[in-house]
Amino acid sequence: MKSFKYLLPVVILITSFDLAAQVKNKDSTVSFKVNGACEMCKERVEKTLKIRGVRSADWNVDSKMLTLVYSPTIVSLQKVHKIIAEVGHDTELEKAKDAVYNELPECCHYRKKELIGNSLQAADSIDHGGKIKGVVLEEDKKGSFKPLQGASIIWLGTNKGTFTDSSGIFFIQHDDNPGRLVISYTGYTADTITVTDTKELKIILASGKQLSEIKVYAKQRSTYLAALSPIRTQVMTERELFKAACCNLSESFETNPSVDVSYNDAVTGSKQIQLLGLSGNYTQLTVENLPGPRGIATPLGLSSIAGPWVESIQLSKGVGSVANGFESIAGQINIELKKPEKAERLYANAYINDMGKTDLNLNLTQKLGKKWSTALLLHDDFLNNKSIDVNKDGFRDLPTGNQFSAINRWKYEDGKGFITQFGFKF
């Protein structure tokens, strides 16, 4: 028996399909007018058109024509016009809203410049009876122009003149003799031109001719009355304390006729303040609106506050406000000490007289970061001369001794309204 082998041919057909292949759409190129005035307008328009479907956009400042390459199947030409108008630029199909246009920078206000050009053209077509017409413009640093309303135009040496209108246009009667016009505007140096052509004048005041700034300096008096206080309050600043060599608070009032300072007793040399002829017990003394030396500390309280520590003194005579207490029968004296955040970083002061009385002062302030600040105020006064007897009565004229005072202040301010202070005094 014979065996046969049959080979059956198998044909495999492989067909390849490129499913991603698509026919590319052809881009369209179109040009149309877009109103603008400067390079900032060019940057704004071209930046706005960086959207899907726009291949390129080029706007010419001089011709105001925009050359656009775009894909019509992705973005429509009407949408392009609308997008440009939304940023403040008029096109052939869309007009920008006035609110959006007014928010543009001054140099981009193209409608004003078109108004100026139209005004000059309209002025040329009207017979103004021999009058000279012109326009006064301002040129800024970017080379843009805008009209100057209210500029003064006057013939030199006469009182004949006029002013420019809201578009910067003016008309002035021609002088029989060739003359010179003086153009002036607030904030600019006046310019004088010789009139040779009476057809039309175009005057530009450049920004370089603008007057320099005016600096006003004010000087505060050393003693003044607080205008905002409902109570008649006299304020003594540091400049008032410089008028006399004061070493402590009791000696700070020697140049003020409203306050009488007298010795409380000759043994300790303590002093007291008298207001309206009353004893110092009836005068309220506060330090930064907080209760100061009081009670048995009143006689020596004035000498414990050094003069170089004082920033200002507020003095009010008569019955004061109950907000600070009931003790201000004759008046109130409030002492403002130097603040850690704005006082001198280093202040040293020394005083000595012919009798040997010596006063030493040292103020140190430091800012610790943006929120913390501290101040260290030191004061030392002493007199060791035991032979002071000018009248030869066997008694010393001044008490001897040594007094040392110090204040350490700390202040925290977070910049959001929270402020706290604390300190130590000895």
Residues 330 and 245 in one domain: yes
Q: Whole-angstrom Cα distance, residue 338 to residue 343?
A: 6
Q: Whole-angstrom Cα distance, residue 71 to residue 69?
A: 7
Question: Is the CA virtual torsion 201, 207, 209, 214 positive or negative?
Answer: positive
List the domain range (segments joined by +) for residue 391.
346-425
The pLDDT value recorded for residue 376 is 92
The pLDDT value recorded for residue 365 is 92
Residue 96, pLDDT > 70, answer yes
In the block, residue with structure tokens 């049959």: 6
Q: Tell me whether residue 266 is in a domain.
A: yes
Among the three residues 292, 308, 337, which one is the final residue of a domain in this structure?
A: 337
Residues 88 and 190 in one domain: no
More confident residue, 260 or 416: 416
Q: Strand 131-139 vs strand 201-206: parallel, antiparallel, or unpaired?
A: parallel
Q: Tell me whether residue 216 is in a domain.
A: no
Q: Tell me whether residue 61 is in a domain.
A: yes
CATH number of 67's domain = 3.30.70.100
Residues 86 and 101 in one domain: yes
Q: Whole-angstrom Cα distance, residue 337 to residue 340?
A: 9
What is each CA distance from 155 to 35, 57, 162, 189, 342, in whole angstroms?
38, 51, 9, 17, 56
Residue 123, pLDDT > 50, answer no
Q: Whole-angstrom Cα distance, residue 374 to residue 339?
A: 9
Residues 179 and 87 in one domain: no
Which has the closest alpha carbon to 328: 288, 281, 292?
281
CATH number of 173's domain = 2.60.40.1120
Residues 294 and 384 in one domain: no
Q: Whole-angstrom Cα distance, residue 248 to residue 306?
A: 4
CATH number of 279's domain = 2.170.130.10
Band of the pLDDT at 209, cuts 50, 70, 90? low
Residues 174 and 117 in one domain: yes
Q: Whole-angstrom Cα distance, residue 295 to residue 304?
A: 15
Read off the pLDDT of residues 54-93 as tens digits, 9 standing for 90 and up: 989 998 887 888 998 998 888 888 889 899 999 989 988 8
Q: Whole-angstrom Cα distance, residue 185 to residue 200?
A: 20
The pLDDT value recorded for residue 20 is 36
The pLDDT value recorded for residue 375 is 92
Q: Whole-angstrom Cα distance, residue 201 to residue 151?
A: 14
The pLDDT value recorded for residue 383 is 86
Residues 119 and 199 in one domain: yes
CB 201 within 8 A of CB 135: yes
Band of the pLDDT at 19, cuts 50, 70, 90? very low
Q: Whole-angstrom Cα distance, residue 392 to residue 396?
A: 9
Residues 235 and 320 in one domain: yes
The pLDDT value recorded for residue 25 is 53
Terminus-to-terminus CA distance in the chain, angstroms?
134
Q: Tell me whether residue 19 is in a domain.
A: no
pTM for this model (two decimals): 0.46
The pLDDT value recorded for residue 417 is 84
Band of the pLDDT at 11, cuts 50, 70, 90? very low
Among the three residues 55, 80, 107, which one is the final residue of a domain in this structure?
A: 107
Number of domains comprising the chain? 4
Among the three residues 302, 337, 372, which one is the final residue of a domain in this structure?
A: 337
Which has the closest alpha carbon to 372: 333, 404, 409, 330?
409
The pLDDT value recorded for residue 364 is 92
